[in-house]
Structure 1
Amino acid sequence: MKVTYIVALGVLAALIVRLLMIGRRPKNYPPGPPTLPILGNIHQLATRDSHLQFEKWAREYGPVYSLMLGTKTLVVLSSDKAVKDLMDKRSGKYSHRQEMYIGQTLCSGDLRVLMMGYGPRWRAARKMIHGLLNVSAAKSYVPYQVLENKQMLYEMLVDPDHFLYHIRRYSNALTTTMVFGWRTPTYEDDKMKQLFDGFSEFAELNQTGTAALIDFFPWLRFLPDFLIPVRQKAKDLHRKEKALYLSHWLKVKEEINNGTAKPCFCEEMAAAQKAEGSFDDDQAAYVSGTLLEAGSDTTSSTLYAFVQAMLLYPEVQQKAFEEIDRVVGRDRMPTMEDDCDLPYIRACMKETLRWMPTTILGAVPHAVTHDDYYEGYLIPKNAGVMNNVWAIHMDPNRHPDPRRFDPERYVNDHQSLGDAAANPDASKRDQFTFGAGRRICPGIHVAERSLFLGMSRILWAFQIEPKVGADGKPILPDPDRLTQGFVCMPEEFPAQITPRNQAKADTVVREWHEAEKECLDPVTKQWRVSPVPSRVNGKI
């Protein structure tokens, strides 16, 4: 009896010691803030504007530091060199994802490509997506971008107060055309509103403390729903989101079967599904839905940030006016052929991506598949690895006076966004908003053209000035007030958007009406004939 009692005490003591070891940072891990038993650094995580806390830690503990989050480890990369050395050069090890119970299991039914682990399903989806968005394919979508851009300018002319809506419709319509073969002709589209609202809710749910705690302490997921209300919210969001994505996919699949579909990504995916049978309609719906999310949200958020920058930095706007007027003139809008001759506009695009990165903390952390060593520290298997975009972009050694919007930083940078991301010299990479390694955003080439056309044509046509308040003072937005979530944007703000002169206003109206008459069905407002050839059966 006495021996049994002693054994039981020994087992209990061992369990207590083991429990208290949770949250402690082993000596060979990268440095980081002091920890508490069990919690680690969880109690130090900010509930709002967490990018500021991650930046502060980077200045204190260096470009590679670690956080102990319950049973999980997060390694934070806060320098261009560390991101290049690990996420790019060792991408075979650094392309996985940690398990995300709320985000991937409940919100996404294990179907969302963004959060999918590095395995056969992810690689197959990535291969198809690359076919849609590679450099050569991206060039073929310029006619789509030009048309949607003309409508955006027209809407900003006739309804300037809702410029955010017009920017969102522009990015969404372009994405739906590429992915599904049909465009979104109006912002008053319930499915488009559901997309933006749903993705905002998804980002917020995954930023909640409860979602993090369930990942850090997996046993919490066995508690009943009434103790974890975020779980029911996640299930409800998945139900609505899956219905939306399935409706898009099944609609275009039916059009493909009856021969009425326009050339699009889903045409190619349907052919692959038929030939291989390796993925069902649910997975196909989420592959296309992932593209819709990424293409709609990040481009519109960046353009919105650009408008804010023009409000706050009128001297930059004036210099951009001068370059556009000198190169393009007053009688026509900029085109992609003007790209090389408008270095200051390109610099504005790059500076916007740096100054207000939408994926402010690299969206979803990568995970390492095997133990690895870097700069003498162990990065353990299954650790999350964060691309700390904000800290890199705000590094004063890399970008002096980093919160100032200064396109001059990039006027001599003639790289495309894709070329800059692939540059072996980490210091020559322009910005890190699109991610790194094998998880880099495949839409980078399309986004570059959408942003250049959007920014150059907005500035060709319009002057952006502050609204005046009731007190007679200009209303200026605070550039540090951002929406919350792993994809963010400036909080909504007003702006006075007016045509630079009547001739430009007339051109905006004429260009849109001519494009509308020439390209679109007068009733459905869909393309009569797609300017992009089919991608299946070797037609491209």
Structure 2
Amino acid sequence: MVSLSVYLVAIATAVSALIYRLGKIGRRPAGYPPGPPTLPLIGNLHLMPKEKAHLQFQKWAEEYGPIYSLILGTQVMIVLSSDQAIKDLLDKRSAIYSSRPEMYLGNIVSGGFRVLLMEYGETWRAIRGLMHNGLNIKAARAYVPYQDLENKVMLVGFLEDPDSFANHVKRYTHSLTMQMVFGFRTTSIHDPMLQKIFNGFMKFSEVFRSPAAAILDGFPALQYLPDLLLPMRRHAKELHKTEYELYVGNYLKTKKRVLEGKVKKPCFCLDLVRAQEQQGFSDSIAGYASGSILEAGSDTTAATLIGFVQALLIFPEVVAAAQAEIDRVCGSGDGDDVRLPDLNDLPDMPYIRGCMKESMRWMPTDPLGVPHAVIRDDEYMGYKIPKGAGVMWNVWAVAHDPQRHPDPSRFDPTRWAHDQQTSAEAAGNRDATKRDHFVFGAGRRLCQGMHIADRSLFLAMARLLWAFDFRRAIDETTGEEVVPDMADLTEGIFVMPQPFRARITPRSEGRARRVREEWDKVAKLLDHDMQWKTVPEGLVWRDYEPAGL
């Protein structure tokens, strides 16, 4: 009888402890940053928006201030919604704010190999070092001819098939990155690999931001359920198979060519293969390292440029102001003294520089960023930030804060009239208010290819406006202009405008002829497969080294 009583007491104690622990799940502990009211067990999961999440996160920032918290089941998410909070934590305390929180479905799609989602540690640091060697300012000088060529191919595409402008932009950024990483070009907007990269990354992005992902991260015990009960996990596994074949397959093909001595042009995989021989990491890690650069360089820059085209239609005064500046620097009319803008013109085109900065502020491609994680307990502004919490940098809220940027929905390049910083310089500025945008991340996870993106954006914006006029499409039924909806964005961790129409026409026949002539010049450098025979020398940007050296 005594033993039964002890047994019953033990059961009652265990049940009470379980009930107590369950009762704490979903609550916001005292001392945590404020946030929306919670419900037992689920916390704020029921409030997570299924679409346009950045707008809801902006509303919460307006209500709860520069730092607030969301309780997502067992997971805590700290949201930083001011430039100073991002600087103070992700930059200044990067030693403890550079890891990643649990992202279960995202890692299933990635097989645990995607650098973007890796926890801060030895593997991540090793890959980060390889990327730095291949993308730093000195190494990136070798990629300027690639940018010049692919830009001119894009201009021809706009000339011959303007209705497919978004696809021409995607091919531009994808082909450039393919050359930087693998050493060969993407020659057509219909290239299967191009389609796979953009479609695959969009599907990954959708899975990453799905309600199922939030629930599985908030309640890790559910991760043990069979696939039959988790259709999103089955979907994630299928995506991984396709993604693995693409990324690792690309790398293995290039690795074979490198070892056979067939890769002669500068590319990231040349160094990656050598590093693999020395360090012994797997083909899977190497494949995803190269694939990560490919997806980052292809998708985000393309999305920014497509957003820029949309801005030109919504705010036509930008077209007139930009073309006036370009003509002042490069010549007006169609005479022999008129030339195509090049990278050395950037210091003389502050309005175009403003277009670059404003594009990344007005429509940031990563409106909520990718959460960091803190590896030990910390405190900020009197609030406790617990070890393991996700830390989100609320890119959209900062970019559209009217106190920071008056009339934030207006695309206004003159905001940056006196800001001559590159993206890298702005990101490293000690004064948080002097950072122009937050698209490229923060702290130790700051994008290392910022200067390459800056070049690609400048060339595209300056040359497209040099060659073409951008006008709104006409509704065939009403005869009225169609103004694109700036709020109509794709869903996911990375976004871009939903498809929209535009009327894109050459500014003159003389400029159309010049576009064809410029293409004819660079086409002579390509073989019958439209790959490089030889790469021209001397294409440099004086922001980084004197022109002509």
Query: TM range, normalised to the smaller chain?
Result: over 0.9
Amino acid at match of 1:525: M
8 Å CA contact retained: 2:142, 2:266: no
8 Å CA contact retained: 2:314, 2:483: yes
8 Å CA contact retained: 1:269, 1:284: yes
Cα distance in 1 between the residues matched to 2:190 and 2:211 = 34
Alpha-carbon distance, 1:4 to partner: 3.1
Partner of 1:229: 231
Alpha-carbon distance, 1:205 to partner: 1.1
8 Å CA contact retained: 1:252, 1:266: yes
Amino acid at match of 1:367: A
8 Å CA contact retained: 1:311, 1:465: yes
8 Å CA contact retained: 1:30, 1:65: yes
Matched residue pairs, number?
528
Cα distance in 2 between the residues matched to 1:3 and 1:108 = 50
The Cα offsets for residues 238-273 of structure 1, whole Å up to 9 and x where unpaired, read as 001110112211111111111111321100010011
Partner of 2:381: 375
Task: Trace 1:272-351 onto structure 2 (pairs within 5 A).
Answer: 272-277=275-280, 279-330=281-332, 331-351=338-358
Task: Trace 1:75-94 onto structure 2 (pairs within 5 A).
Answer: 75-94=78-97
SS at match of 1:464: strand
SS at match of 2:486: coil
8 Å CA contact retained: 1:345, 1:456: yes
Cα distance in 2 between the residues matched to 1:427 and 1:500 = 38
Cα distance in 2 between the residues matched to 1:250 and 1:269 = 11
Alpha-carbon distance, 1:30 to partner: 0.8
Q: Which one of 128, 139, 142 corresponds to residue 140 of structure 1?
A: 142
Q: Using the TM superposition, name which of 435-444 and 5-14 deviates more.
A: 5-14
Amino acid at match of 2:339: R
Cα distance in 2 between the residues matched to 1:36 and 1:472 = 52
Partner of 1:34: 37
Partner of 1:124: 126
The Cα offsets for residues 194-227 of structure 1, whole Å up to 9 and x where unpaired, read as 1111001111111111111111101111111111
Structure 1 residues 444, 9: CA separation in 2 closer, same or farther (over 3 Å shift)?
A: same
Do structure 1's residue 20 and structure 2's residue 26 form an aligned pair?
no
Partner of 2:546: none
Cα distance in 1 between the residues matched to 2:451 and 2:141 = 8
The Cα offsets for residues 362-395 of structure 1, whole Å up to 9 and x where unpaired, read as 1x10000111111111111110000100000011
Partner of 1:436: 442
Q: Which one of 446, 457, 460 corresponds to residue 451 of structure 1?
A: 457
Q: Which one of 514, 522, 525 corresponds to residue 530 of structure 2?
A: 525
The Cα offsets for residues 21-49 of structure 1, whole Å up to 9 and x where unpaired, read as 01111111111111111101100110000
8 Å CA contact retained: 1:157, 1:498: yes
Cα distance in 2 between the residues matched to 1:273 and 1:208 = 35
SS at match of 2:341: coil
Task: Trace 1:35-114 onto structure 2 (pairs within 5 A).
Answer: 35-104=38-107, 106-114=108-116
Amino acid at match of 1:472: G
8 Å CA contact retained: 1:148, 1:173: yes
Alpha-carbon distance, 1:133 to partner: 1.3
Task: Trace 1:510-521 onto structure 2 (pairs within 5 A).
Answer: 510-517=517-524, 519-521=525-527
Q: Which one of 182, 185, 188 corresponds to residue 180 of structure 1?
A: 182
8 Å CA contact retained: 1:64, 1:76: yes
8 Å CA contact retained: 2:145, 2:535: no
Partner of 1:490: 497
Partner of 1:474: 481
Amino acid at match of 1:481: D
8 Å CA contact retained: 1:141, 1:532: no
Cα distance in 2 between the residues matched to 1:213 and 1:495 = 40
Cα distance in 2 between the residues matched to 1:237 and 1:9 = 46
Alpha-carbon distance, 1:3 to partner: 4.1
Query: What's the Cα RMSD here?
Result: 1.1
8 Å CA contact retained: 1:345, 1:452: yes
Amino acid at match of 1:15: L
The Cα offsets for residues 255-299 of structure 1, whole Å up to 9 and x where unpaired, read as 11111113211000100111221x111110000000000000000
Cα distance in 1 between the residues matched to 2:9 and 2:235 = 47
Cα distance in 2 between the residues matched to 1:276 and 1:529 = 32
Amino acid at match of 1:196: F
Partner of 2:471: 465
Task: Trace 1:351-390 onto structure 2 (pairs within 5 A).
Answer: 351-362=358-369, 364-390=370-396
Unaligned runs of 5+ in 2: 333-337, 539-549
Q: Which one of 251, 254, 270 corresponds to residue 253 of structure 2?
A: 251
Cα distance in 1 between the residues matched to 2:33 and 2:536 = 52
SS at match of 1:466: strand
8 Å CA contact retained: 1:263, 1:532: no
Amino acid at match of 2:520: H
8 Å CA contact retained: 2:133, 2:139: yes
Cα distance in 1 between the residues matched to 2:259 and 2:535 = 18
SS at match of 1:29: coil
SS at match of 1:107: helix
Do structure 1's residue 501 and structure 2's residue 508 form an aligned pair?
yes
Cα distance in 1 between the residues matched to 2:13 and 2:508 = 84
Alpha-carbon distance, 1:11 to partner: 2.0
Alpha-carbon distance, 1:137 to partner: 2.2
Partner of 1:536: none
Alpha-carbon distance, 1:531 to partner: 4.7
TM-score normalised by length of structure 1:
0.96
Partner of 1:538: none
Amino acid at match of 1:378: K
Amino acid at match of 2:433: S
Cα distance in 2 between the residues matched to 1:530 and 1:255 = 19
8 Å CA contact retained: 1:370, 1:381: yes
8 Å CA contact retained: 1:464, 1:497: yes
Runs of 4+ with >4 A deviation: none
Cα distance in 2 between the residues matched to 1:252 and 1:325 = 43
Cα distance in 2 between the residues matched to 1:390 and 1:63 = 13
Cα distance in 2 between the residues matched to 1:359 and 1:187 = 24
Structure 1 residues 144, 31: CA separation in 2 closer, same or farther (over 3 Å shift)?
A: same
SS at match of 1:31: coil
Do structure 1's residue 410 and structure 2's residue 416 form an aligned pair?
yes
Aligned residues with identical type, % of pairs: 53
Do structure 1's residue 209 and structure 2's residue 216 form an aligned pair?
no
Cα distance in 2 between the residues matched to 1:193 and 1:7 = 60
Cα distance in 2 between the residues matched to 1:250 and 1:95 = 30
